Amino acid sequence: MITHDTVSACAPGRVELLGNHTDYNEGVVLGAAINRVICVSGVKSDRSISLTSADFGEVEMRPAELRPLQEKRWANYILGVADELRNLQVPVRGFTADISGDLPIGVGLSSSAAVELATALFLLKLFPTRLALLEIVKACQRAEHRYVGVQSGLLDQVISLFGRADHAVFFDCRSEEIRCVPFPAELALIIAESGKKRELAKGEYNSRVEETHAAARAFGARTLRDVSSADLDRRSDLSVLLRRRASHVIGENERVWRALKLLEAGDGIGFGKLMNESHESSRQNFENSTPELDLLVSIAQDLPGVLGARLTGAGFGGATVTLCERPRAQQVAAELSRRYADATGIAARVFVSRIADGAK
């Protein structure tokens, strides 16, 4: 029940345009907030923390017993943020929170960061406290590390919070520079779900973190941000696995820098080619694609009006993003859905997405 005491906050999902797995390697990334959100609404409570979700059920806990749950793990995203805010001296006590929204879950559009940010803004309004925006972002990241067990970078939370309508967000994960770059108005983004859910806490993501960090150590570098393609070419002693992992991250960083110039020039064709290169590197070098994602990308690349396509987000299932001439976008989305269903029997959601404002 909504009363005059009810507080609400919403945060959008995000689409990663370029810069795959660069964030935890202190690299650079381009993304955009999308017009699908998760909202958290509720009131203060004297006795307990009470969470409800139409998709996942209910959880109740005493504030003094705040801890990660082994069952009903969906609640850890919310509970972890509450705990991190308390560590920052936010006086979080009991509350009720209802979690809802239209952002697809577990498909690579960062529903996790959206629920974390919506929770953080909700609690900061419910228990009034001012925090710097990047401090909020980092509290959400720590919650994901400590309560969920995914050693994620800051990319998802930054884009969900700092997103701006009709702009891509550039994020330098080392300097923490955040810049909004106008996105060509004549281009549209199409998001296609593969029908294969992701579960990052199961280990593939954390394995890639370890492998890329091992590759950086092999170069004597702090991270792969400090290694160039020329450096990689000069090394013949790297294992095949570490060479592939390093090649992907190094290449992604270089593609982001090139893409910035292309966006400033309004060069959608060049940007689309970089997206195609990015997916091929994910497929061959990083092995975070799947047959379903590859099929969606190859179908999209074959359709008139499409400039490029790639997986978006961590991979290992999830969704793809397609760059398309805006007048053809609805037709391309329908044809992509039809051809994918014909080939797989999967009726996947495919939708044209607007680039939206960040969390509020």
Q: Are residues 265 and 325 both part of a single domain? A: yes
Question: What pLDDT score was predicted for residue 152?
Answer: 82
Separation of alpha carbons 162 and 159, rounded Å: 5
Separation of alpha carbons 109 and 154, rounded Å: 14
Active-site residue, selected from the candidate residues 156, 231, 233, 357: 156
CATH number at residue 87: 3.30.230.10
Question: What is the per-residue pLDDT across 216-262, written as a single tens digit (0 to 9) for each?
Answer: 999 999 999 999 999 999 999 999 999 999 999 999 999 999 999 99
Query: Is the pLDDT confidence value at 197 over 80?
Result: no
The residues near 141 (Cβ < 8 Å, ≥ 6 apart) are 152, 153, 154, 157
Active site residue 23: no
76-87 vs 111-126: helix crossing angle, rounded to 10:
50
Locate tokens 């991190």: which residue?
84
Question: Which domain-ending residue is among 131, 151, 172?
Answer: 172
Q: Are residues 43 and 141 both part of a single domain? A: yes
Separation of alpha carbons 248 and 14, rounded Å: 21
Average pLDDT over every residue of 187-213: 87
β-bridge mates for residue 306, sequence order: 324
pLDDT category of residue 85 using cuts at 50, 70 and 90: very high
| Amino acid (1-letter code) at residue 193 | E
- Identify the H or E element spanning 2: none
Q: Are residues 28 and 156 both part of a single domain? A: yes
Question: What pLDDT score was predicted for residue 199?
Answer: 65
Q: Are residues 168 and 188 both part of a single domain? A: no
Q: How many residues does the chain have?
A: 360
CATH number at residue 207: 3.30.70.890
Query: Is the pLDDT confidence value at 3 over 60?
Result: no
240-264 vs 204-218: helix crossing angle, rounded to 10:
90
Strand bridging mode 319-325 / 178-182: unpaired
Question: Which domain-ending residue is among 126, 144, 172?
Answer: 172
Q: Are residues 197 and 156 both part of a single domain? A: no
Question: What is the per-residue pLDDT across 286-299, written as a single tens digit (0 to 9) for each?
Answer: 999 999 999 999 99
Residue 35 is part of which domain span? 7-172
Q: Are residues 319 and 262 both part of a single domain? A: yes
- Residue 1 is assigned to a structural domain of this protein: no
User: What does pTM read for this prediction?
Assistant: 0.92
Separation of alpha carbons 358 and 180, rounded Å: 11
